A and B are shown apart, each in its own frame.
Chain A
Amino acid sequence: MSTDIRKVLSELYPCRSDFIGKLCDLLLESLPHVLYVYGHSGTGKTVILRDLLRLMGKNTNFKTSYVNCIECYSTKVLLENILNDLCSIEGVNINCENVNQFTEFLKCFYTKPTHTSLIMVLDQAERLRDMDGNVLPSLMRLQELTGLNVCAVLVGQISFEKYYVANGLPELVTLNCGQYTKCEILHILSNHFDAARNNLKDYIIQHQLDKNDMQEKLHIVENITIEFFNNYLNIFLYVFHKACRDLPELKNTADVCFISYMKPVLSREVDIMDAQKLWRSITPTLRTALTQIYMRYDNPYELKCSSDNEIQKIARSFELPFYGKYLLIAAFLASHNSANADKRLFVKHHGKKRKRLQDVNAKAKVFEKTSAAIGPKTFTIDRLLAIFYAILDEKVGLTCNLLSQISTLVQLKLLSFVSNENNIMDGSARLQCTVGLEFVVFIGNVVGFNIRQYLCDFM
Chain B
Amino acid sequence: ATKRVGTPKRNIHMSNIVEEMIFDKQDVLSTPKLKSKRSLAFGKEKDIEKILLEVTPKKPVEETPKRVQRSNSKYVKDSETPKTPSQKLKMIRSGELTPSFKEREGIEHSKLSKNDLQLARERLHVSVVPLSLPCREKEFENIYTFLEGKINDKCGGCMYISGVPGTGKTATVTGVIRALQKQVQEDMLPAFDYLEINGMRLTEPRQAYVHIYRQLTGKTVAWEHAHALLEKRFMTAAPRRITTVLIVDELDILCNRRQDVVYNLLDWPAKTAACLVVVTIANTMDLPERVLMGKVTSRLGLTRLTFQPYTHKQLQEIVTGRLGGSEAFKGEAIQLVARKVAAVSGDARRALDICRRATEIADSSKGKEICVNILHVQQALSEMIASAKVQAIKRCSRLEQILLQAIAAEVTRTGVEETYFMGVYTQFESIANFVGGILVPNTGQVLRLCSKLGAERLIICEHTRNDIFQKILLNVSTDDIHYALRVTPEATQ
**A and B together in one complex:** yes
Residues of A within 8 A of B (CB): 129, 159, 161-169
CB distance B444 to A166 under 8 Å? no
CB distance A163 to B455 under 8 Å? no
CB distance B463 to A164 under 8 Å? yes
Considering the complex, give the chain A residue whose CB is closest to the CB of B448: A161
Q: B289 contacts the other chain (Cβ, under 8 Å)?
A: no
Known A168-B451, A168-B452, A168-B455; judge A162-B462 contact (CB<8 A).
no
CB distance A161 to B455 under 8 Å? no
Contacts of B111 in A (CB 8 A): none
Report the separation of the CA atoms of residues A162 and B450 in the bound assembly, to the nearest whole angstrom: 12
Per-residue contact bits, chain B 423-455, to A (CB 8 Å; 1 contact, 0 not): 000000000000000000000110110111011
CB distance B448 to A166 under 8 Å? no
Contacts of B467 in A (CB 8 A): 162
CB distance B463 to A161 under 8 Å? no
Q: B159 contacts the other chain (Cβ, under 8 Å)?
A: no
Report the separation of the CA atoms of residues A161 and B445 in the bound assembly, to the nearest whole angstrom: 8
Contacts of A168 in B (CB 8 A): 451-452, 454-456
CB distance A129 to B455 under 8 Å? no
Q: B368 contacts the other chain (Cβ, under 8 Å)?
A: no
Sample of 9 further A-B pairs with CB below 8 A, known A159-B444, A166-B451, A169-B451: A161-B445, A161-B447, A161-B448, A164-B454, A165-B451, A166-B455, A166-B462, A167-B455, A168-B455
> A94 CB to closest chain B CB, in angstroms?
26
Q: B464 contacts the other chain (Cβ, under 8 Å)?
A: yes
Contacts of A169 in B (CB 8 A): 451
> B289 CB to closest chain A CB, in angstroms?
39
CB distance A129 to B444 under 8 Å? no
Report the separation of the CA atoms of residues A131 and B363 in the bound assembly, to the nearest whole angstrom: 51
> A34 CB to closest chain B CB, in angstroms?
16
Q: B461 contacts the other chain (Cβ, under 8 Å)?
A: yes
Q: B102 contacts the other chain (Cβ, under 8 Å)?
A: no
Report the separation of the CA atoms of residues A129 and B465 in the bound assembly, to the nearest whole angstrom: 9
Considering the complex, give the chain B residue whose CB is closest to the CB of A169: B451
Question: Would you mind naming 22 contact pairs between A and B with Cβ atoms under 8 Å apart?
Answer: A129-B465, A159-B444, A161-B444, A161-B445, A161-B448, A161-B451, A162-B465, A162-B467, A163-B465, A164-B447, A164-B463, A164-B464, A165-B451, A165-B463, A166-B451, A166-B454, A166-B455, A166-B461, A166-B463, A167-B455, A168-B456, A169-B451
Considering the complex, give the chain A residue whose CB is closest to the CB of B462: A166
Contacts of B461 in A (CB 8 A): 166
Report the separation of the CA atoms of residues A166 and B455 in the bound assembly, to the nearest whole angstrom: 6
CB distance B462 to A164 under 8 Å? no
> B283 CB to closest chain A CB, in angstroms?
31
Contacts of A164 in B (CB 8 A): 447-448, 450-451, 454, 463-464
> A409 CB to closest chain B CB, in angstroms?
34
Report the separation of the CA atoms of residues A361 and B461 in the bound assembly, to the nearest whole angstrom: 47
Report the separation of the CA atoms of residues A169 and B454 in the bound assembly, to the nearest whole angstrom: 11
Residues of B within 8 A of A (CB): 444-445, 447-448, 450-452, 454-456, 461-465, 467
Considering the complex, give the chain A residue whose CB is closest to the CB of B465: A162
Considering the complex, give the chain B residue whose CB is closest to the CB of A126: B465
Report the separation of the CA atoms of residues A167 and B455 in the bound assembly, to the nearest whole angstrom: 4
Contacts of B450 in A (CB 8 A): 164
Report the separation of the CA atoms of residues A159 and B451 in the bound assembly, to the nearest whole angstrom: 14
Contacts of B454 in A (CB 8 A): 164, 166, 168
> A350 CB to closest chain B CB, in angstroms?
45
Contacts of B462 in A (CB 8 A): 166
> B54 CB to closest chain A CB, in angstroms?
46
Report the separation of the CA atoms of residues A162 and B447 in the bound assembly, to the nearest whole angstrom: 8
> B281 CB to closest chain A CB, in angstroms?
37
Report the separation of the CA atoms of residues A167 and B467 in the bound assembly, to the nearest whole angstrom: 16
Contacts of B445 in A (CB 8 A): 161
Report the separation of the CA atoms of residues A346 and B445 in the bound assembly, to the nearest whole angstrom: 57
> B396 CB to closest chain A CB, in angstroms?
14
Considering the complex, give the chain B residue whose CB is closest to the CB of A130: B465
Report the separation of the CA atoms of residues A337 and B467 in the bound assembly, to the nearest whole angstrom: 36
> A278 CB to closest chain B CB, in angstroms?
46
Report the separation of the CA atoms of residues A269 and B208 in the bound assembly, to the nearest whole angstrom: 98
> B421 CB to closest chain A CB, in angstroms?
11
Report the separation of the CA atoms of residues A164 and B464 in the bound assembly, to the nearest whole angstrom: 6
> B461 CB to closest chain A CB, in angstroms?
7
Contacts of B464 in A (CB 8 A): 161-164
> A129 CB to closest chain B CB, in angstroms?
7
Considering the complex, give the chain B residue whose CB is closest to the CB of A168: B455
Considering the complex, give the chain A residue whose CB is closest to the CB of B447: A161
Contacts of A163 in B (CB 8 A): 464-465
> B357 CB to closest chain A CB, in angstroms?
30
Shortest 4 CB-CB contacts between residues of A and residues of B: A168-B455, A164-B451, A164-B464, A161-B444
Considering the complex, give the chain B residue whose CB is closest to the CB of A167: B455
CB distance A129 to B452 under 8 Å? no
Contacts of A129 in B (CB 8 A): 463, 465
> B448 CB to closest chain A CB, in angstroms?
6
Report the separation of the CA atoms of residues A129 and B467 in the bound assembly, to the nearest whole angstrom: 14
> A140 CB to closest chain B CB, in angstroms?
13
Considering the complex, give the chain B residue whose CB is closest to the CB of A164: B451
Report the separation of the CA atoms of residues A397 and B464 in the bound assembly, to the nearest whole angstrom: 55
Report the separation of the CA atoms of residues A162 and B463 in the bound assembly, to the nearest whole angstrom: 8
Considering the complex, give the chain A residue whose CB is closest to the CB of B442: A161
Report the separation of the CA atoms of residues A166 and B451 in the bound assembly, to the nearest whole angstrom: 7
Report the separation of the CA atoms of residues A162 and B464 in the bound assembly, to the nearest whole angstrom: 5
Considering the complex, give the chain A residue whose CB is closest to the CB of B466: A162
> B392 CB to closest chain A CB, in angstroms?
14
> B160 CB to closest chain A CB, in angstroms?
41
Report the separation of the CA atoms of residues A162 and B465 in the bound assembly, to the nearest whole angstrom: 5
Contacts of A165 in B (CB 8 A): 451, 463
Report the separation of the CA atoms of residues A159 and B447 in the bound assembly, to the nearest whole angstrom: 11
Considering the complex, give the chain B residue whose CB is closest to the CB of A166: B454
Report the separation of the CA atoms of residues A163 and B451 in the bound assembly, to the nearest whole angstrom: 10
Report the separation of the CA atoms of residues A201 and B358 in the bound assembly, to the nearest whole angstrom: 92
Q: Taking each of A161, A165, A167, A169, which has the highest tally of chain B beta carbons within 10 Å of its own beta carbon?
A: A161
Considering the complex, give the chain A residue whose CB is closest to the CB of B460: A166
Report the separation of the CA atoms of residues A169 and B464 in the bound assembly, to the nearest whole angstrom: 12
> B473 CB to closest chain A CB, in angstroms?
12
> A153 CB to closest chain B CB, in angstroms?
21
Report the separation of the CA atoms of residues A129 and B444 in the bound assembly, to the nearest whole angstrom: 18
Contacts of B447 in A (CB 8 A): 161, 164
Contacts of B465 in A (CB 8 A): 129, 162-163
Report the separation of the CA atoms of residues A129 and B462 in the bound assembly, to the nearest whole angstrom: 13
Contacts of B452 in A (CB 8 A): 168
Report the separation of the CA atoms of residues A164 and B467 in the bound assembly, to the nearest whole angstrom: 10
Considering the complex, give the chain A residue whose CB is closest to the CB of B467: A162
> A277 CB to closest chain B CB, in angstroms?
50
> B381 CB to closest chain A CB, in angstroms?
31
Q: Taking each of A159, A165, A167, which has the highest tally of chain B beta carbons within 10 Å of its own beta carbon?
A: A165
Considering the complex, give the chain B residue whose CB is closest to the CB of A158: B465
Considering the complex, give the chain A residue whose CB is closest to the CB of B451: A164
Report the separation of the CA atoms of residues A161 and B451 in the bound assembly, to the nearest whole angstrom: 9
> A175 CB to closest chain B CB, in angstroms?
16
Contacts of A159 in B (CB 8 A): 444
> B464 CB to closest chain A CB, in angstroms?
4
Report the separation of the CA atoms of residues A170 and B372 in the bound assembly, to the nearest whole angstrom: 43
Contacts of B455 in A (CB 8 A): 166-168
Considering the complex, give the chain B residue whose CB is closest to the CB of A159: B444
Report the separation of the CA atoms of residues A161 and B456 in the bound assembly, to the nearest whole angstrom: 17
Report the separation of the CA atoms of residues A166 and B472 in the bound assembly, to the nearest whole angstrom: 11
Report the separation of the CA atoms of residues A285 and B94 in the bound assembly, to the nearest whole angstrom: 90
Report the separation of the CA atoms of residues A167 and B452 in the bound assembly, to the nearest whole angstrom: 8
Report the separation of the CA atoms of residues A388 and B428 in the bound assembly, to the nearest whole angstrom: 56
Considering the complex, give the chain A residue whose CB is closest to the CB of B450: A164
Report the separation of the CA atoms of residues A159 and B461 in the bound assembly, to the nearest whole angstrom: 19
